[in-house]
Structure 1
Amino acid sequence: MSSPTSIQKITYLSTNNINNLYKPLIFTGLFLFLFYTLLSNRDHLDLSPQYLAKLRQTLYTNHQPKDTNDPTNISHIVIGIASSIKSWKSRKSYIESWWQPNVTKGYVFLDGEPTYYRPWPSSSPPYRIYENTDIYKPYDRHPMKSAIRMVRVIVEIFREAHNDQGIRWFVMADDDTIFFLDNLMEMLQKYDHKKYYYIGENSECVLSNFANSFEMAFGGAGYAISYPLAEVLVKNMDVCIKRYPYVYGSDHLMQSCIADLGVSLTHEKGFHQIDLHRDLSGYLSSHPQTPILSLHHLDTVDPIFPNMSRSEALNHLMKAATEDQPRLLQQTICYDNTKNLSFSVAWGYTAQIYEKIIPPSVLKKPLETFSAWSFRAPKQPFMFNTRWLSKNPCDMPHVFFFQSVERITENNEIITNYTRRTTRNMLHCSSSSSSNGNFSSSLTDDIATIIVVSPATKYSAQIMRVHGFKDNFYIFVEGRDMIDPII
């Protein structure tokens, strides 16, 4: 992605209201510089357009991130979390599930002093109080009343981090955003932090995108802004806020400001707004073949693991993430043709058995266990294809949820166990009986545990493993008086 060609123009756009103050200073400085150059080197004075353009850029360029060739790591990222006194009290457990004290850089922004926490817990990000935004009241016609103070988090956090020469990325989030930091860091390594980047993802629902923009990164899912883009964005924020008094919320306001700078959204499917309701298991069990970067809105869906609270379920998922974050939720599909069974494993979350052979093109579509964000959603409400729930037992899986994880160092393996939490309450699929009669579909109900053995090596999401597992990747099923190696 290329940067805007003229930083000078962008600066002028953001300083129209103070030109009377700065223009004399700028032109005086330019005159003195040219005068000195004329006196010291008359025979080689260069007044070419190229030279003057370079001079203008020097005059208008402020602090830039330290230019190194080191891969992006967690120290290069600053995270701004928009919150409030009211919501932080009930949502801080979401942030603390992934925040690493003394490692992660960033702040949570509140609308007042959190008197209910004295002292402020070290397990939480340090807090800051939003700056007063009363000067913008004439321009605040946003349906979301916190839009202006939330969009200005990028201004306030940029000032906080301005003197840190190592900062490359600013990541914005809500107080119920769950990040997977290792995956986030590796994703950002793909991009040149010295260029203009705005990285995020749409909502899962068509109506949400239509109401805002299909080129908008949804703030709850989180999005990343490169340092150079943040720098010019901060300079133009005041003018931009006044230009867009009617857009719905802060993330649409942010997208409008960035679009005016000539920068488009770079889509990363690992960001998840979760504009969904009900049971999320169908969606998470068919995750796109890309590392998961975030989750959001877990308050609006059922706990992601049965028989747990939302907080317990999230912490349970993090146990798998701690062992192998790049592999988390990555879907692997394989088959036992002798028994006419299909297996779909979302690593660290679910393992599913279907009593017939179902092609990968079907299994990659999420089962519609969830519903759309809005009851006014169109007939096809989602941004992706789904499979409808069926009464046909051949089309519905036996579902086993993640139970435990163990790293076997001597074998360089990771073992995950998946157990049946609920019964399927359906008849058996007649197609699951093999031609030689050595397997009965009724035995599928007797399976209590699925064991997945995977290599303790870095997962490559670009390779989808189908028709069997590579690199000592095995599935075992356990039931009454049996242990059966499938692959």
Structure 2
Amino acid sequence: MAYGGGGYALSYPLVEALVAKLDECIEKYHFIWAGDKLQSYCLADLGADLIPEKGFHQMDLRGDLSGFLSSHPTAPLLSLHHFGALAPLFPGMDRHGSVLQIMKAANVDQSRMLQQSVCYVRARNWTFSVSWGYSAHVYENIFPRSYLKLPIETFRPWLRGWFPFYMFNTRRVSRNPCEAPHWFFFDSLEQVEGGVVTSYTRKFIRNMTSCSFSGDISADPLASIRVFSPITPKEGRKVECCDVEYEGADVANIRLRDCRSDEIIS
């Protein structure tokens, strides 16, 4: 059964089959009051079972969703239910302005929205994590993708006192400079030959010391991150790898690409 709030989708042929049997089904299951549950029974009788889709979100969370959206699963973003219980998606914006902002990227390449790419500047011991169209993180340490896939717990549970609070694992917000990222948020995009460049800017200072005792690998000078994404087919989105160009200025340039055969993202 799919929650109606989180959303579900039916194919046109399935809708046609359902309409033909709907009155009969309602009479058969007259004791079921919830529409989504009733529909799941009707569809089961037609031989159609639910196929879970990670992009439908029954967002039983409150507060700041940035930690969740920055580690979104590899699936198209389709819905965020209970959106009114969440803080605005972008710092310094209201909820309406945040929706308009994130739609700038979604209108250009919906299939790539929030898809996470991880790459490294090993000379500086930096890790970059880009959530396309939303945010970019810079860590002054090397972390594997298996770790960065865990959402940072910037949000709160829907109800206090219930354990476990979430149906997924999380990372706690850290004040350790070797664990806490520098946060950059989507600012603008530009369509260029062969793809799109999205820009992410620093909205607030991390306000920590450098992870390195010498301070020579601090990411504090970074003011913005530019990400080039090539034009790719919209079907079958998969994890992408990336390369970083950084020569000590206040801008880092990242180019997304297909992962190479047997490439390990760590």
Interval of TM-score (by shorter of Structure 1 and Structure 2): 0.7 to 0.9
Secondary structure in 1 matching 2:220: helix
Instruction: Map 1:272-311; keep pairs closer than 5 Å.
Output: 272-311=57-96
Q: Which residue of 1 aligns with 2:48?
A: 263
**Quick one: structure 1 residues 463 and 227, their matched pair in 2 at CA, closer, same or farther if it must change by over 3 Å?**
closer
Contact persistence 2:222–2:252 (CA under 8 A): no
Q: Which residue of 2 aligns with 1:355?
A: 140
Contact persistence 2:111–2:237 (CA under 8 A): no
- Distance of 2:247 and 2:2 partners within structure 1: 41
Deviation at 1:262, TM superposition (A): 3.5
Contact persistence 2:70–2:116 (CA under 8 A): yes
Q: Which residue of 2 aligns with 1:384?
A: 168
Secondary structure in 1 matching 2:189: strand
Contact persistence 1:453–1:475 (CA under 8 A): no
Deviation at 1:451, TM superposition (A): 1.2
- Distance of 1:424 and 1:418 partners within structure 2: 15
Selected match of 1:394 from 162, 165, 178: 178
**Quick one: structure 1 residues 252 and 417, their matched pair in 2 at CA, closer, same or farther if it must change by over 3 Å?**
same
**Quick one: structure 1 residues 347 and 418, their matched pair in 2 at CA, closer, same or farther if it must change by over 3 Å?**
same
Q: Does 1:440 align with 2:216?
A: yes
Instruction: List gaps (5 residues or longer) in structure 1.
Output: 1-215, 434-438
| Length, aligned pairs only | 254
Deviation at 1:290, TM superposition (A): 1.9
**Quick one: structure 1 residues 484 and 268, their matched pair in 2 at CA, closer, same or farther if it must change by over 3 Å?**
closer
Deviation at 1:230, TM superposition (A): 2.5
Selected match of 1:430 from 212, 224, 228: 212
Secondary structure in 2 matching 1:427: coil
**Quick one: structure 1 residues 363 and 461, their matched pair in 2 at CA, closer, same or farther if it must change by over 3 Å?**
farther
Q: Which residue of 1 aligns with 2:188?
A: 404
Q: Which amino acid aligns with 1:407?
A: Q
Q: Flag the structure with higher strand content.
A: 2
**Quick one: structure 1 residues 236 and 459, their matched pair in 2 at CA, closer, same or farther if it must change by over 3 Å?**
closer
Q: Flag the structure with higher helix content.
A: 1
- Distance of 2:254 and 2:231 partners within structure 1: 20
Q: Could you give the per-residue CA deviations for residues 152-176 of structure 1, whole angstroms, max 9, x where no partner exists?
A: xxxxxxxxxxxxxxxxxxxxxxxxx
Contact persistence 1:334–1:465 (CA under 8 A): no
Selected match of 2:240 from 432, 454, 465: 465
% of aligned pairs identical? 47
RMSD of equivalent CA atoms: 2.6
- Distance of 2:247 and 2:57 partners within structure 1: 32
Q: Which residue of 2 aligns with 1:450?
A: 225
Contact persistence 1:285–1:346 (CA under 8 A): yes
Q: Which residue of 1 aligns with 2:263?
A: none
Deviation at 1:311, TM superposition (A): 1.0
- Distance of 2:240 and 2:24 partners within structure 1: 50
TM-score, L = length of structure 1: 0.48
Deviation at 1:463, TM superposition (A): 3.6
Q: Does 1:414 align with 2:204?
A: no
**Quick one: structure 1 residues 232 and 455, their matched pair in 2 at CA, closer, same or farther if it must change by over 3 Å?**
closer
Q: Which amino acid aligns with 1:297?
A: H
- Distance of 2:91 and 2:224 partners within structure 1: 16
Q: Which amino acid aligns with 1:453?
A: F
Q: Which amino acid aligns with 1:245?
A: F
**Quick one: structure 1 residues 484 and 352, their matched pair in 2 at CA, closer, same or farther if it must change by over 3 Å?**
closer
**Quick one: structure 1 residues 281 and 476, their matched pair in 2 at CA, closer, same or farther if it must change by over 3 Å?**
farther
- Distance of 1:258 and 1:382 partners within structure 2: 29
| Larger RCO (CA within 8 A; separation ≥ 6) | 2
Q: Which residue of 2 aligns with 1:245?
A: 31
